[in-house]
Amino acid sequence: MNTSIKSAQEKELASHWDAIVIGSGIGGLVTATQLAAKGAKVLVLERYLIPGGSAGYFERQGYRFDVGASMIFGFGTEGTTNLLTRALDAVGMRLETIPDACQIHYHLPDGLDLKVHRSYEKFLQELGKHFPQEKEGIRKFYDECWRVFNCLNVMELLSLEELGYLTRVFFQHPLACLGLVKYLPQNTGDIARRYISDPVLLRFLDMECYCWSVVPADRTPMINAGMVFSDRHYGGINYPKGGVGQIALKLVEGLEKKGGRVQYKARVTKIVTENGRAIGVKLANGKEYRAKRVISNATRWDTFEKLLPPEMMPTKEKNWQNRYQKSPSFLSLHLGVKAEVLPKGTECHHIFLEDWQKMEEPEGTIFVSIPTLLDPNLAPEGHHIIHTFTPSWIDDWQRLSPKEYEEKKEAAAERLIERLEVIFPGLIAGLDYQEVGTARTHRRFLGREDGTYGPIPRRKLMGLLGMPFNRTSIPGLYCVGDSTFPGQGLNAVAFSGFACAHRVAVDLGL
C-alpha cells in the first residue's frame, strides 16, 4: 500500500473516537451500526480475520460452514422484535432470507418424535396428539408465552437503563410494561407447572428451553421463553441467503458507509484507564487507541478478568459471577455429505436425545443444522452440510499432547456420527468432508473464555432480574453481547446492541 495512504489511515485510527467497540460479534456490530447511524465516530477492533464471532463462517473445499448459529430469529417484517431486520435497515442494508417451515424436528426418548411447525396451530395439534390429556394445558402454557411476546412486540426495544425511554414507553404502552414487569422475575418451569402435570411433557418443555438456553425450564427466564416460543410462529425462522456470515458482513458494509471503521487482526489486550475511567484500549501489537466510550463485546469473564487488572474487578461483577457460571462449550462437527443421505422432507434443524437423564450431560443432547436444505449454494452440487454440535467442557480437552488431542477428536466425531446414523441412515457411507471443533477451537477462534456458549444461572434465580445491563461499574466502559441482558442468541445480542448504543448515545449527548 502507498505509504502516504497508510500513514493517513494510521493517523485516522489514532485520532479520538466517540466509541471503540472491542469485537465484531453481532452484539458489537449492532452497537457500532446504531451509534454510527446516530452520527457517532466508531471504531470496531476485531482480533480475528473476519467479523461475526459465533455468527461467522469458514470455507473448505466448496462448503461454506456457519461457525455456530444457524437457526435465526429476528428477520421478521412486522412488530418490533425483528431486531436483525431493523439493525440492517438502520444502516441502509437488507438481506434476502429463506423462510423455514419448521423450527425443529425433535427426536426424543419415549418415542417423542415431533416437529415445531411455523404454524402455531399445527404445532399445538401435533404436540396435543402426543399428550391428549394435556391439550388444554399445552394451549394455556404457550398462550401465556404469547402474552409476554405481545407485550415486547409493541414497544421499541432500547435501554432499560435510560429513564427517559422508560417513561416514554410506559406512557405509550402502560399495560404492556406492567405485563413485562410481572414476567421479569419469573421462570418458565413455574409457569408450565401451573397448567401441565405430565412428567414427560414437562421434560419436553425442559428440552424446548435447553436447546437455546442450555438450562432446563426451571432456570430459563419466562421473558426469553416468551420471545422464542412465540416469535418462531410470528416472524418465524429465516435463513440468510449466502449463510449466516452475511449478517455480519452486511452490518460492516453499512457501518463503513456511515463512516465507521473495522480493523481486523486487532486483538485488544488491555482496556486503558485513567483515574478509574476507561479511556481507550491497547492492542497486542502495542498500539493504543482512545475514545470517549469503550464497549466490550468480549464475554464479561474475558473483559473483567483479562482486559482489566484484577484489582479493578468491581464488586458487582464478583456478585454476578456468584449468580452465573460459564456454560459448557460445544463439540462441533462440520460435515459435508452426499445429498442422497437425506430423504425427501428432511427438516433443517434437529434435536436428538436417547435418554432424558442425559439431556444436560456432555455429549448428551445433539443439535443438528442442515442449512443447505434452505440454501443449496453453500455446498458443492449434489452435497449437503450437516453441522452437528453437542455440549462439551474445556476441561476434557486440556493437558493433551497434539497426538492425543487429534485422537480424542477423531473418537468423539465417530461417537457422534454413529449416533446420527440412527436418524440419518447411510450417513457414514455418504461422508465427503469432516472437520471437528472442540472447546479449545471455540476458545481460540471466538476469543471466548473456555469456549463457553455464555452465562447460565448457577441456581434458580428470579427470571432475568439478575442479568446485568450494558453499563458497568467502571465509568466509560460498557458491555454488550450474550453476557448482558437478555442473554444468548443472535436476536438477543442484537437487543443488547440496540440497548447499549442507546445508552451510550445518551451519555455522549447524541
Ligand X SMILES: Cc1cc2nc3c(=O)[nH]c(=O)nc-3n(C[C@H](O)[C@H](O)[C@H](O)COP(=O)(O)OP(=O)(O)OC[C@H]3O[C@@H](n4cnc5c(N)ncnc54)[C@H](O)[C@@H]3O)c2cc1C
The contact set with ligand X (CB under 6 A) reads 22-28, 45-48, 53-55, 68-73, 267-268, 297-298, 302, 330, 332, 389, 446-448, 453-454, 481-482, 488-490, 493
State the minimum distance, in angstroms, from the CB of residue 2 to ligand X.
Answer: 27
Q: How far is the CB of 398 from ligand X (least distance, A)?
A: 19
Considering the complex, what minimum distance in angstroms separates the CB of residue 352 from ligand X? 15
We find the least distance from the C-beta atom of residue 30 to ligand X, in angstroms, to be: 8
Closest CA to 440 of 400, 403, 493, 480: 400
Q: For residues 490 and 499, which CB has a smaller minimum distance to ligand X in the complex?
A: 490
Integer Cα distance of 180 and 170 in angstroms: 11
CB of 371 to ligand X, least distance (A): 10
Of residues 48 and 424, the one with the C-beta less far from ligand X? 48
Compare residues 229 and 389 and give the one whose CB is closer to ligand X: 389
Query: Which residue, 267 or 358, has its beta carbon nearer to ligand X?
Result: 267
CB of 55 to ligand X, least distance (A): 4
Task: Answer whether 300's CB lies under 8 Å from 484's CB.
Answer: yes
- Which are the contacts of 356, defined by CB distance < 8 A and separation ≥ 6? 108, 109, 110, 203
Q: Smaller CB distance to ligand X: residue 117 or 130?
A: 117
Question: From the CB of 97, what's the least distance to ligand X, in Å?
Answer: 14
Give the angle subtended at the CA of 274 by the CAs of 273 and 278, to the nearest 5°.
Answer: 40
* Helix, strand, coil tally for the chain in percent (to 5): 45, 20, 35
Q: If DSSP codes are grouped into helix, strand and coil, which group holds residue 41?
A: coil
Residue 25 beta carbon to ligand X: minimum distance, rounded to whole angstroms? 2
**226: buried, middle or exposed (CB in 10 Å: 19+, 13-18, 0-12)?**
buried
What is the bridge-based pairing of β-strands 42-45 and 17-22? Answer: parallel
Distance in angstroms (rounded) separating the CA atoms of residues 233 and 119: 6
| Most distant pair of Cα atoms in the chain: their distance | 76
250-253 LR contacts (CB < 8 Å, sep 24+): 250/88, 250/93, 250/94, 250/95, 251/26, 251/29, 251/30, 251/32, 251/33, 251/51, 251/87, 251/88, 251/91, 251/93, 252/24, 252/29, 252/44, 252/51, 253/91, 253/93
| Residue closer to ligand X (CB basis): 72 or 155 | 72
> 137 or 392, CB closer to ligand X?
392
Our CB check for ligand X shows the closer of 137 and 489 to be 489
Cα–Cα distance between 152 and 80 in angstroms, integer? 8
Read off the amino acid at residue 167: T
